[in-house]
Amino acid sequence: MLSIKNLHATVNDTPILKGINLEVKAGEVHAIMGPNGSGKSTLAKVIAGHPAFEVTEGEVLYQGQSVLGLEPHERSNAGIFLAFQYPVEIAGVNNAEFLKLAYNAKRKAEGKEEVDEAAFNALLKEKRALLEMDSSYLDRAVNEGFSGGEKKRNEILQLALLDPKLALLDETDSGLDIDALRVVSGGVNAYKKPDNAVVLVTHYQRILNYIQPDFVHVLYKGQIVKSGGKELALALEEKGYDWIIEAEQAGVA
Amino acid sequence: MNAVMTTTANQPETARPKTLAEQTIAAATVAPASVLPQPFNRLRQAAQNRLSQVPFPTRRQERYKYCQLDGLSNTAFESFQVFPKISADQLAALTLPECQDARLVFVNGRYQPQLSQTKALTAIKGFHITPFSGMDDAAAEALLTQRLEAQVAGDDNWFSLANTALLDDGLHIRVDRDVVVDVPVQLLFVMAGADATPRIAAPRLVAELGPYARLTVMEHYVGLNNASATLNTMGFDVFLDDGASMTTILFQEDHQAGFHFNQRRVQVGRHAGFNQHTLAFSGLLSRFDNHVTVVGEQGDARLNGLLLLNSSRQSHHHLLIDHQAGHSTSNQLYKSIVLDEARGEFDATVKIAKGAQQTNAAQLNKNLVLSPLAKVYTRPQLLIDADDVKCAHGATVGQLDEEEQFYLTSRGLSPAQAQYMLIDGFAQELIDQLPIASLHQRLTGELQDWFNQRFGQQAAE
Ligand SMILES: Nc1ncnc2c1ncn2[C@@H]1O[C@H](COP(=O)(O)OP(=O)(O)OP(=O)(O)O)[C@@H](O)[C@H]1O
Ligand SMILES: [Mg+2]
């Protein structure tokens, strides 16, 4: 599904990613953890095609093809989805209208006919029910004035609607209360199928109780310094990152 | 009303050669407007005299610094003596669905009762429309002495003087005390081309609202069959008595070679409210001088503006909100979207007089500059002499937000779709506030066409 090889990326000539390697197969859930500023969001945005980052070395293959030459919308149409750590508020752009355009863009990319208002509303209603979101969010501008938790729900609503092949979830659990965490995790689990994959960035083991990872990776200073199974997340929760960082530095030295 | 347009150009300039525009307009003003009652000739004469002392503006003057006037000053304008026939179909196409029976038409500066539809208006008791030509001398005399004459002597605005010097058959609108005009009135100002001669027009409107009266109008400026340059010098005087409320939508759809200099003086009484929505989309060069004086306590003035400018259009918006009474409020929200080599200007001053305590004023100007050669000039200013007031002002100039574009495109929207959504979102804040429903769809459509023209089809579907 996703194959990242020796990926280096910079922002304004400052190196952020310094040789990432990652293999994600269909049906898998990968968790990425790591201290603040280590490059987790950068990795997710580089995969999604954010123009602020420049890839200076390495490759990102998705379904066997390089995506580095593709525009963000082309990557999206190919099935890559990023749930943002900080979803932006877009004044004046109606949320329902935006969701419909996004859904129809995907239909078009799949060579299917665009759906009309009624058909879309029915689908949207079903997905909203899944995320326990009432219709009041639809009349508002995209994310404008949404609470932190509401923004995250809106991201997963989009995930549910667009049903991508590869979901990159950047700290979707941050800022969620207990109930919201359950609902949002439920949304992700409903989406999860054998033919798609999830890369989930998080700081907390908590969400991994709901969404079971097959692999856990630790990203530190732009590199993956340790990978393991879900027990690694538990160890991190208990011991923090120091032991890994020290081991890493000892190894380098 | 003793308010004066403030420009620095006041000294007689004998040595300065007159521009072509000036010379020809001077010639045009000589012919008296036979259609008007006698007192109006006195008003015209006063403006002509004053005009001979006020020089044609140049970019050396602060207030015209950003106005590219060359095309205007080098054109030989003649007065409109011709009023080409306009078909019923043409008019119908220009009429808003809400205004079918409330449409007042001006052609080339002159009010045209036979083209106007007043069915819905004559039904309203206490709503009066009187063409200047239909006034008796006493009524004309009263209008001059009470409303129009005093401002001429101190006027430094060349275009407003030209409007008065060339005065043709204008319209006086009066709404009596407590009368609510519940249909919007479309004031259609047509510049109808006749031949290849550049023409100047001088439409003039006076609105007086009695205490607690209410009125909504749409000033709609359009061009028809224009084969040459035109210069519109529209003048509008508004007087709002205590508690009166007026809303005007100023929709500018001038033709490609249209110069438009629009001067308005508004007087807002106690508890009265003036709302204006300017939509500047077209023409070659336009300039709007809005002078609003809040003379009564708790008077309120709200001026919105949406500028959508492409090609090498220029649109200059000058506002002076003069708070002379306390507890009054004013609010300005102007947004512009500029492309290509277009120029937009927002030059707005809020003045708060010493005694006007507890006044609350806000100015905000936001600009989207979408091409490297497009430019906006923004200057929101506060001149405050009172000490207990609340004021806020701000301006932003920028491009479309990269993070917002990324968010939208990461959901599969094409870059053009994303840009359109952001531009539309930027404009909707103002479009949403328009009190005439059919305009929402109309303007959204116009924005779409405008965008598609620039960024290619299918984006704004
Ligand atoms: N647009 C940018 N301009 C400048 N620096 C940036 C930019 N984006 C990211 N960075 C820097 O890159 C580094 C990695 O940031 P990133 O957001 O990827 O970290 P993260 O691992 O997601 O952290 P967190 O856990 O706090 O979300 C940080 O030092 C950050 O300041
Ligand atoms: Mg992050």
pLDDT digits (tens, 9 = 90+) for B314-338: 999 999 999 999 999 999 999 999 9
Which residues 6+ apart lie within 8 Å of B238 measured at CB?
A: B206, B207, B209, B246, B248, B264, B265, B266, B267, B274
Domains and CATH numbers, chain A: 2-252 (3.40.50.300)
Q: Which atom of ligand 1 is nearest to the CA of A201?
A: 22
Same domain, B149 and B268: yes
Per-residue pLDDT of chain A (253 residues; tens, 9 = 90+): 999 999 999 999 999 999 999 999 999 999 999 999 999 999 999 999 999 999 999 999 999 999 999 999 999 999 999 999 999 999 999 999 999 999 999 999 999 999 999 999 999 999 999 999 999 999 999 999 999 999 999 999 999 999 999 999 999 999 899 999 999 999 999 999 999 999 999 999 889 999 999 999 999 999 999 999 999 998 988 888 888 888 878 776 4
Q: Chain B interface, mutation test: which of A90, A112, A157, A161, most B Cβ atoms within 10 Å? A: A90
pLDDT for residue B3 is more than 50: no
Find, among A44, A54, A55, the residue nearest to A82 by Cα.
A44
B70 interfaces chain A, CB cutoff of 8 Å:
no
Which residue, of B296, B313, B348, is where some domain finishes? B296
Ligand 1 center to A50 CA (angstroms): 13
More confident residue, B5 or B132: B132
Does B369 reside within a domain?
A: no
For ligand 1, atom 4, name the residue with the nearest CA. Answer: A11
B chain contacts of residue A87, beta-carbon cutoff 8 Å:
407
Q: How do residues B231-253 score in pLDDT, each as one tens digit?
A: 999 999 999 999 999 999 999 99
C-alpha gyration radius of chain A: 18
Residue that the structure tokens 């987790």 belong to: A40
pLDDT for residue B373 is more than 90: yes
B chain contacts of residue A76, beta-carbon cutoff 8 Å:
409-412
Q: Quote the CA–CA distance of B185 and B351 in Å, as a whole number.
A: 31
B421 interfaces chain A, CB cutoff of 8 Å:
yes
Cβ atoms < 10 Å from Cβ of B364: 17
Q: What's the pLDDT band for B32 if we cut at 50, 70, 90? A: low
Instruction: Give the pLDDT of residue B34.
Output: 67
Same domain, B241 and B92: yes
> In the A/B pair of chains, how many CB contacts fall below 8 A?
76
Find, among B286, B293, B228, B277, the residue nearest to B253 by Cα.
B286
Which residues 6+ apart lie within 8 Å of B402 measured at CB?
A: A51, A52
* Residue range of the domain that includes B276: 19-296
Same domain, B142 and B288: yes
Q: Do A141 and B425 touch (CB under 8 A)?
A: yes
Q: Quote the CA–CA distance of B94 and B201 in Å, as a whole number.
A: 20
Does B353 reside within a domain?
A: no
Same domain, B149 and B287: yes
Does B63 reside within a domain?
A: yes
pTM to 2 decimal places = 0.89
3-state helix, strand, coil in chain B (%, to 5): 25, 35, 40
Ligand 1 — pocket residues by CB below 6 A? A 11-12, 16, 34, 36-42, 52, 85
**Runs of H (alpha helix) within chain A:** 40-48, 72-78, 95-109, 117-130, 148-162, 178-191, 230-239, 242-252
At A229, the amino acid letter reads G
Ligand 1 center to A39 CA (angstroms): 6
B chain contacts of residue A77, beta-carbon cutoff 8 Å:
412
Through-space distance between the first and last CA atoms of chain B, rounded to whole angstroms: 50
Instruction: Give the pLDDT of residue B33.
Output: 54
Q: What's the pLDDT band for B8 if we cut at 50, 70, 90? A: very low
Ligand 2 center to A37 CA (angstroms): 7
Which residue, of B296, B326, B341, is where some domain finishes? B296
Ligand 1 center to A36 CA (angstroms): 8
3-state helix, strand, coil in chain A (%, to 5): 40, 30, 30
Same domain, B430 and B282: no
Task: Kindly provide the b/e burial profile for residues A55-77, where b requires at least 16 CB atoms within 10 angstroms of the residue's own CB.
Answer: eeebebebeeeebbebebbbbbb
pLDDT for residue B27 is more than 90: no
Shortest distance, CA A197 to any CA of chain B (angstroms): 18
B403 interfaces chain A, CB cutoff of 8 Å:
yes
- Cβ(B320)–Cβ(B349) below 8 Å: yes
Ligand 1 center to A248 CA (angstroms): 21
Does B318 reside within a domain?
A: no
Q: Quote the CA–CA distance of B149 and B44 in Å, as a whole number.
A: 10
Q: Minimum mean pLDDT among A239-248, B13-22, B59-68: which range?
A: B13-22
B461 interfaces chain A, CB cutoff of 8 Å:
no
Find, among B361, B365, B234, B222, the residue nearest to B289 by Cα.
B234
- Cβ(B222)–Cβ(B252) below 8 Å: no
Structural domain count, chain B: 2
If residue B44 lies in a helix (H) or strand (E), which one and from where to where? helix B38-51
Q: Do B410 and A73 touch (CB under 8 A)?
A: yes
Which residues 6+ apart lie within 8 Å of A30 measured at CB?
A: A22, A24, A197, A198, A199, A200, A213, A214, A215, A216, A217
Same domain, B418 and B283: no
Find, among A32, A33, A7, A38, the residue nearest to A20 by Cα.
A7
For ligand 1, atom 16, name the residue with the nearest CA. Answer: A39
For ligand 1, atom 7, name the residue with the nearest CA. Answer: A11
Does B85 reside within a domain?
A: yes
Q: Does this complex have an ipTM over 0.95?
A: yes
Same domain, B119 and B240: yes
pLDDT for residue B82 is more than 90: no
Does B177 reside within a domain?
A: yes
Does B334 reside within a domain?
A: no
- Cβ(B113)–Cβ(B83) below 8 Å: no
A72 interfaces chain B, CB cutoff of 8 Å:
yes
Which residue, of B248, B273, B296, is where some domain finishes? B296
Token pair of B133 as six digits: 């030509």
B400 interfaces chain A, CB cutoff of 8 Å:
no
Q: Quote the CA–CA distance of B408 and B295 in Å, as a whole number.
A: 48
